[in-house]
Structures are given as structure tokens and as C-alpha cells.
Amino acid sequence: MRRMLFMAIMAMYQCVCSLAVNVSKYDAGGVPDIHPTGWLQTLLQRQHDGLTGHPEALSYPYNSCLWAGEISRSDESYGDNWWRYEQTAYYTDGLLRLGYELNASEMVNKAMEGIEYTLANATDAGVLGNRSLTGITWPMSVFFRVLQAKYEHDGDQRIPAALERHYLNFTEKDLAGGIVGGRNIMSLEGILWTYGKTGNEQLLKLAEDAWAIQDKFAVDETAITSSEPFYMHSVTFCEMLKLPLLLYAYTGKTKYLDLAIMAVRKLERESMLPDGVPSSAEFLVGNDVHHSHETCDVVDLTWTLHHYLAVTGEAEWADKIETAVYNAGLGSITKDFHTLQYFSSINQFIATGSSNHNIYKHGSTWMAYRPTHETECCAGNVNRMLPNMVSRMWMKDSEGGAVATIYGPSEATFTTAQGNLTIACATEYPFDEVLTFTVSGQDGASIPLTLRIPTWCQHASMTINGTAADVELKAGTFVRLPEKVKKGDVVVLTLPMTVEKKLLDGQGIYFQRGPLLFAYAIPQKMEEDTKVYENMHGKVSENPDFKSWNITPTGDFNYAYDDDGAQIHVNRPTVEKPSGAIPFDAQYTPVRLQVPVRQIEWELEENNFTPHLPEQGHLTLLGGERKYIELVPYGCTELRLTVFPDTKAQPMEQSTPDYTRPADAPECVKVEDGRYCAYFELPRFCWDEPVWCKVRKAGDDHVNLHSNMDGDPCVMVGTTANGRKIWKWTGPAITEPSPTEIIFTNHDLLTQIMPFANGGYYNYERLMYKAGQATPTSVKTLKAGHSVDSYYDLQGRRINGKPTQRGVYIKNGKKVVVTM
């Protein structure tokens, strides 16, 4: 009776304090007391003793007062005015959460200086953040997450109040544009959160109105059926991806949910790499494993996926967070947490101060493991990666029950009406298959417990206090235990992991076991890199214990997978793990895969860059016999071979690229009389003007197409229908020998090296069409017919033929209802 009365009072209290709608399945951030244990605690302690605890190693702007005052600009000629506030907000977020999770009061106190300064220094109208950032709301969107972390920890009521005043100063127009392709719109994350806490309907209206007029996140029903890939800055995309989902969470309008799901599916189809993070150069650039990704993408994508997980309550998103952090994330840092890469790659045979093989900043320091980078975003953001994940390992369901969402050794404390309960998850996951949940705390207290069955796990089993549990453990679901758990209960969840050999179509083979991707750790030499690079603007680690590295291969990497018809063998060596070692330390990792390989002709490009995968079906086998090499988890590695060429793969069917001039091609794009010419469509973000062009002719090897310097100046000649600028190169008379290869550069960035076509229209990656190529009528009819006939489901998957089930589909860019 007393309990019912309490519940009734609680329900009334909830009604009074917030009238906001929220259809989210789980409350992310609703469990203030989550701590890592086991190997995860050791890794977070390394982060504490490493970069997060040593901002002087990260150098500028982390060696400043952070948000507790004005940060001076180190060099007016370099970077943008808002960078230092964005970057230090990333860092402070990681610092504060890490401090809470490790009970490291010095970290919490340092982050608190920035919080208190920011709250105390609002304008008279209540606007928070540095005054010099008028019109740029993005850095404050990043710092909002610091404030959110504090609120999640202690319920500080000043925070929703301050944010409410702050956001009411903005109109929808203020939020619909901004830097790097409209990042002001990212304020919606904070606005909607604040609406959730205050119930102020004005905030919800502001968020919906701003979303309705923004035009940068170009995703709609038409876009998913379009063959045009997403064409956006990758970090901006990963950040923006969560906004329609949050609009759904706070309105219940399914149009927003449809949009969020369609967008993430298109991203996965086009640009997802096997380690769980999309390509970034800095654009989304497809799923060629030669592309790399920015470390910010790991952090921003997983933060977005935490929202997908909480809002939809679907297990799939938790799997994807684990894949991204345990693979891409840990692969981008040295495991002492002293250095990080800005760009990291699936196949990475060399990592030095000049080996960046990404087309963005090609040949630069950006792929090296260093404590500080030219642009400092990743050096700040990397500090959020693990603390963010830990903070979302446990959530609450709508009845206050405990939900174990992301797996790894951890413990969380829950408040119940009868007192506190702590649930500890002891495990060597993601290496081990067994997770043991032990409940301790107040006698008489009990709580519902929900566990995740990963999508990759077909034969999960569970015991509760030694007895097999009578529940269905379906892959890719959350399963609520039949009875509440109480002090002394022990739940053992076993998630059998099988080795999966996966094919990356047209590229190669890779191996996964449970959430872990495996890679061959190429024998390597680490040498300190003391060179002072011009692009680093004089920044070096101010802590001599934090070095920059040149990592070069000292052994073979030229292996192709050579199927021997047998199952992949799993080695579980008995490893003497000294205290302080973790399973992501390559020499102590407890799971290894043995794979059959043969050596092929495959070398570094220019002795300095990771080469492309050799063309499928055209491998040159070297003399040796089949042999076996051992793979370790990808997250253990620096130099690695992850996607293997396949000795058994057949050559790809050669499809002739269609270079037909599209009907809506701008008129300014045409073949020039008497001279060679080519056109370049400027990417929407990142590319400053002007543009230069370099070409190479047959036998002409003095032109260095890998360098971003030199070239002929181009001229801006027009714009496309969607507002992208077109630059034209005019070359020598066509009586001269024809160029064979072409690049465009702005003396900073570089496109791919592409085949030359006279009158060719290029983007940063490929030849898109030839200006002089006439449109054959038959092809046009065929293409139009194809598109009209295709149905897509709301997930963006093309249906073969007509749908066989009733429902809503996309056809010819429009929603259609199919009734049977």
C-alpha cells in the first residue's frame, strides 16, 4: 500500500515537472552511476594517465583555460575563430565523464571550472558561450553535452534553466545555416533535451521550424532512390543524422523516424567500412577500403547511435556502437592512450609523418600516431570516445528497470523505492562469450533487468541462479527477465561467437568473431618522429613522454587469402597476462584466428603509401606455398592488413562506365574548339578556392600528380542546379598529344588521380560525364523505365519486382501504399 502511494506521488511529480512528450524506449543518461571494471577500467585509467590527463601533450588549444575564460587564438592566419571552442568543448566533455566514471575528482573539478564560468557569464539576455562566436552556435552545441553530463550526474537544475534562456534567444533562421554546411542546426540536440526537461513548447516549435527550413541535410524520400551518393562532410553528416530521430522522440511524428532510418540505411549501403565507421575524406566517399576515416567520426557516429539505441530500443544499434568503438576506435589510438591518428584505415601498411594516403591532405602527418595534430578536433574528440560509451552501457526502461545495452566489464547502481541495487557485469567481452551479472545492495529491493542478445548471436543461453532461464533469446532483441532481480542474484548470459568470413563485394575478404573484426598485425618498427612539420604551425607535444611516431613495416604484408576449404581455426593461447595488461594489447590478446594465405605481388606505393587492393581476379602469385598467419583483433593493431585480396575470386565483370552527358548539365560545360579542357565541380564544404589543374601525358613522368602544388589556374565558369561551383581548366591545343591523367587541387587539397577525357566533368573522386557525349535515346528510355519500375521499402532497400506484402513503399521517389 505504501509503495502504491509512493508510485502515485512519483507519477504526479513527473507530470508536474515535465509535460514534454518523449516516445523514447530507453532513458539514456538516466543511470548516473556507471563505472568501468576489469580491462575496461584499466583502459580508462590509461586514458586518465594518457592524453586526457595531459592536455599539455595535446598542446594548443588544450593547454589553455578551456571554457573557464577566453582562449587566445594562437595564430590569426590559421584555422577558424570557432575551432578552439569546439575542440576544447569536446575535450571537456570527455574529461568530465571520465572523471565521473573513474571517481577522479581532479578531472571533474577542472571541467567544473568551465561549467561554472559559462553559467556565470551569460549575456543579459541569457546567451551562453564566448561572445566572439556571434552567429555560430556549433561550439555551444558541443559544450551543451558537457552541461548535459553534469545534469545526468547530479540533476543540477540550473542547467535546463540556463539552456532554456539561452535557446530562446534564437530564431529558426539563426539555426538553419552556419559553418561547415549548416552546423548551427546541431543546436536541436540541446533544444530538444531542454524541452524534455522544461516542457516549454516554444522550444519544440523552434526545433521543428528550424528543421523545416534547413536544406543542408539533403535526405528525403527521393534521395534514397537516387543513385547520387550522399555528398556531405562526414562528421557533419554523422552529427546531423541524429536530429530527425530526436524530433521523432519528442513529437512522436513517424515522418521524422522514417527519415532517420532511411538516412542511416543509405549511409550504411554507400560508405560503411567493416570496422563500423563510414569513410571520410573529409567527405563521405564510398566503401572502398582504401579510404580512411576521421577519428571524430568514430565519436560522433557512436554518440548518434546511442540516440538511435535509446529512442528505438532496438539491439542492432548497440551492436553497431560496439563494432565502431572496439574496432575503428581502438585501432586509431596506441593502446597506451598517448597518441591518435586523425585519419585511420582498414588496411594500413605504414603510418608516418608523410604517409597519409587519404585524398584529403595526401602525404601529410594526418595518418601518423601523434599526440597532437594539425587540425585539433580529433585530439579533443578522442577523449569522449570511451567515456561516452561507458555512460551508455546501462540505460533505464520506461518503468525504471535496468537495461544492459552495451557490453563490457562494468557496474551500475540503480535507485529503487526500497533502496539502491548495484548490478555488476564481470566479463572479458568482447573477447569472451560469457557475461556474469551479479546483483548487490539493499535487502528487499528489486528491479526488472533487460539484457541484449546481439544480432550476430544465434544460440545465446542464460541461467538465473544456476537454473536455465525460460525465456526466448532471439538474436537482435532485448530480453526482459521474467522476474525482477534482487540482492544475491546471479545471471549468466552466454553469447557463442562464431568466426564469420565476410565478402566485401569486388574488394576482398575479412574476418569477424562476435563484435570483433580481425586483422594481421604487420611486423613494425616504431621510431620517434622529431621532425617539425610546416603544417603543424609550431605545435609539438609539450610533454616529452608523449612522442610522435613513424611506424614502418619490418615484415611482409603482401598476403592474399587462399581458401583451404577448412573452417577458420580459432587459437586461444594461454597467455600470462601481467597486471596492467589488457586484451587489446596485441601480445596478450586471448583470441587469434589462423587463416590460410599466399604471398602476392603487392608493394607500398612510392615506397611511402599503403597501396590499393590489387584488382580482383588479377593477383600475381609469388612462388611460395600456402601458409598460415595469425590474426589478432583489429583494435590491437597499428599497422594492419584487414581486408585480404582473395586468390579464388574471379575477375569482375567489366561494366562500361556511362559518361553520357545528363539532360540537365549546365550549358557552360562544353567541349572547347581547338583546345583541351576539363571541368571540376567544387565540393560543397572544405574546398577553398581558387582551383588548379595538373595533367600528365603518356611517358611524361616529371609531373607529380601526388603533390598538391603547381598546376594551371582554373576559372570559375558557372554553378550547378544545386548550387555547386564549376571550375574550368583550359589546356594546350588539341594538336598536342592528349593528357592521360588529371587532378584538381587548391594547393592544399587534392582530388584522386583520374583518367583524362576532353570536356570531362569531374568531382573530387571520378569522371562524372563527358561534355561532348551525346545522349542515345534508347539508353535514356531504358534508364527511365528501370527507375519507374523499382519499389523500395522504408528502409531504402530495393524490392525485387512488386512488393508481395501490403504496406508503404517508395516508388519513383514518392510514398505509395500497396494494398493486396
Neighbour tally for 618: CB within 10 Å: 10
Question: For residues 343 and 510, which CB has a smaller minimum distance to Zn ion in the complex?
Answer: 343
Query: Least distance from C-beta 254 to Zn ion, angstroms?
Result: 33
DSSP output for 52-115: TT-HHHH-TTTTS-TTSSPPPPS-TTSS-TTHHHHHHHHHHHHHHHHHHHHT-HHHHHHHHHHH
Closer CB to Zn ion, 20 or 340, in the complex: 340
Q: Which is nearer to Zn ion, 284 or 423 (CB)?
A: 284
Residues sharing a CB contact under 8 Å with residue 13, sequence separation 6 or more, in sequence order: none
Supply the minimum distance, in Å, between the C-beta of residue 377 and Zn ion.
3
Residue 681 pairs in a beta bridge with 726
Provide, rounded to whole angstroms, the least separation between the CB of residue 298 and Zn ion.
10
Inter-helix orientation angle 158-167/138-154, to 10°: 160
In the complex, least distance from residue 378 CB atom to Zn ion, rounded to whole angstroms: 3
| Number of other residues whose CB lies within 10 A of the CB of residue 501 | 16
Give the interface with Zn ion as residue ranges (CB under 5 A).
Answer: 294, 296, 377-378
Closer residue to Zn ion in complex, CB, 66/457: 66
Nearest-approach distance from CB 360 to Zn ion, in angstroms: 11
At closest approach, how far in Å is the CB of 183 from Zn ion? 13
Distance of alpha carbon 144 from alpha carbon 147, whole angstroms? 5
Cα(299)–Cα(93) distance, rounded to whole angstroms? 12
Per-residue CA distances from 488 to 148, 402, 439 (Å) = 33, 16, 5
Helix (H), strand (E) at residue 268? helix 254-271
Between 197 and 362, name the residue whose CB sits nearer to Zn ion.
Answer: 362
Per the DSSP assignment, residues forming a β-bridge with 680 are 727, 762
The CB-of-789 to Zn ion minimum distance in angstroms stands at: 42
Q: Tell me whether residue 361 or residue 592 sits nearer to Zn ion (CB atom).
A: 361
| Residues facing 744 on adjacent strands | 693
* Distance between CA atoms of residues 799 and 793, nearest Å: 7
Q: Is 296 helix (H, G, I), strand (E, B) or coil?
A: helix
d(CA 331, CA 351): 12
User: With respect to Zn ion, which residue has the nearer C-beta, 343 or 769?
Assistant: 343
Q: Closest distance between Zn ion and the C-beta of residue 58, in Å? A: 13
Q: What are phi and psi of 680, to 5 degrees?
A: -130, 125
Q: Please, where are the H alpha helices in 440-595? A: none
**DSSP E strands: which ranges in 611-759?**
627-633, 640-641, 675-681, 692-697, 712-713, 715-719, 725-733, 739-745, 754-755
CB 520 within 8 A of CB 641: yes
For the CB of residue 469, give the shortest distance to Zn ion in the complex, in Å: 44
CB of 668 vs Zn ion, minimal distance in Å: 35
Q: Which is nearer to Zn ion, 164 or 294 (CB)?
A: 294
* Closer Cβ to Zn ion, 180 or 210, answer by number: 180
The DSSP letter of residue 609 is B
CA 299, CA 87: separation in Å to the nearest integer? 13
Q: Which is nearer to Zn ion, 366 or 546 (CB)?
A: 366
- Asked if 24 contacts 403 with a C-beta cutoff of 8 angstroms, the reply is no
Q: How far is the CB of 340 from Zn ion (least distance, A)?
A: 10
Angle between helices 83-102 and 105-120 (to 10 degrees): 140
Shortest distance, position 158 Cβ to Zn ion, whole Å: 31
Nearer to Zn ion, 61 or 408 (CB): 61
